[in-house]
Structure 1
Amino acid sequence: MAIFSGVVVSGREMAQRHVSLAMDELSTISGQDLFPGSMNVVLDKPLKLESRYSAIFDHGKRFIWRARIGCRQVWIYRWKGTPFTIVEILADCRLKDALGLLDGSCIDIEIDDALVAPLDWRDRLSSFLIWGMGRKYLYYSKPYPSRRYVMRIRNGLGDGQR
């Protein structure tokens, strides 16, 4: 098992809408009735997941992978272009409440080694330049996705889950 550590942060509630619209599909895939929202985690190091081992939903636009936080089974939720240092976690309950977590809490996510993909040089470079050096400004700042120059750089480098 690979362990990835990170910090719990507030999201922008975009996953709540996407997950809510796909609840039937996600229940079939996961075998669970998932909570219609996610817990956002900014990882200490980039994580690229093997797309071939994901469960794909929403017409191929979104993916989930099985993982664990403590003894609880969870699902890592991503879409094409999700930065490698960010994961959204789905579960059958509101995880912050169930685990007694607050924004800023540190957590460990256990992932099967086979699900972790190697980072190529572009992945490492983009993660370092965009997310490593500017994490506080880019992710913890609510308007980060609207920063057009950041998006142009990310697209040029091919940054994010594919």
Structure 2
Amino acid sequence: MEILIEGKIVKGRGKGVNVVGKINEKLESKKIRFFQGTLNIVSTKPFFFDVDKADFILFKNFYFYKVKIENVECYVYRWLKCPGHVFEVLSECYLKEELKLKDNQTVSITICKSFREKFKISRYLFWWIFWEKRTHLYYKFDLYEKFVGRVIDLKYKYIKTIIVRLF
């Protein structure tokens, strides 16, 4: 079974080029070589991947999942604080050129249903509080992303403190 997610292509911040270079170095033994850059897609709804179902993991916190964009096989990669509506897509070819895509164009991402994380109300509630109606801010304002990242850090620190005090 597959899930279809729609999202808009957005202009990135140029960070993907450096990341892809490091990824390619690590994947030399697997004979995988990605195009030097990512296709950035933002959906209006989150999709949370199950980290245990990743096709492979690099750098201890980069999780890769095989997906299809308009029937072209590629990978979405996520990291621990990645918002659920952000899809960084890696491919062996330049997807924008290959599929004749433009910024703000809507595309479909086909994802294997088994990749979906088990439902956790806290994940969706957190996403809804910080990202609903603000999904476009991820690529436009670094400060908002950093703010949400710090809130995530505080949330885990707070939970850890409670657990330590209980036991």
Q: Give the TM-score category using the shorter length.
A: 0.7 to 0.9
Q: Is residue 141 from structure 1 mapped to residue 149 from structure 2 by the alignment?
A: no
Q: TM-score, length-normalised on structure 1?
A: 0.84
Stretches of structure 2 lacking an aligned partner (at least 5 in a row): 157-167
Note the C-alpha offset of 1:140.
4.6
Taking every aligned residue pair, what percent have the same amino acid on both sides?
23
Q: Rg: which structure is higher?
A: 2
Equivalent position of 1:66 in the other structure: 66
Structure 1 stretches (4+) deviating beyond 6 angstroms? none
Q: Give deviations 1:93-113, integer Å, cap 9, x for gaps.
A: 111111111110101100111
Match of 1:153 in 2: 151
In structure 1, stretches of 5+ residues that fail to align are none
What is the alpha-carbon distance in structure 2 between the residues aligned to residue 140 and residue 34 of structure 1?
Answer: 21
Give the drift of 1:145.
4.7
Please tell me the root mean square deviation across aligned C-alpha atoms, in Å.
Answer: 2.0
| Residues 1:5 and 1:146: Cα distance change in structure 2 (over 3 Å) | closer
Q: What's the counterpart of residue 91 of structure 1?
A: 91
State the SS of the aligned residue for 1:135: coil
CA distance in 2, matches of 1:24, 1:140: 26
Go from structure 1 to structure 2 and tell me whether the alpha carbon gap of 1:110 and 1:27 turns closer, same or farther (over 3 Å shift). farther
The size of the alignment, in residue pairs, is 154
Contact 1:130-1:154 at 8 Å conserved across structures:
no
Give the match for residue 27 of structure 2.
Answer: 26
Determine the structure 2 residue equivalent to 1:7: 8
Shift of 1:82: 0.5
- Sort the Cα spacing of 1:141 and 1:22 in 2 relative to 1 into closer, same or farther, 3 A: closer
Contact 1:48 1:116 in 2 (8 A): yes
Tell me which residue corresponds to 1:17: 18
1:73-93 CA-partner distances (Å, limit 9, x unpaired)? 010011111111101000011
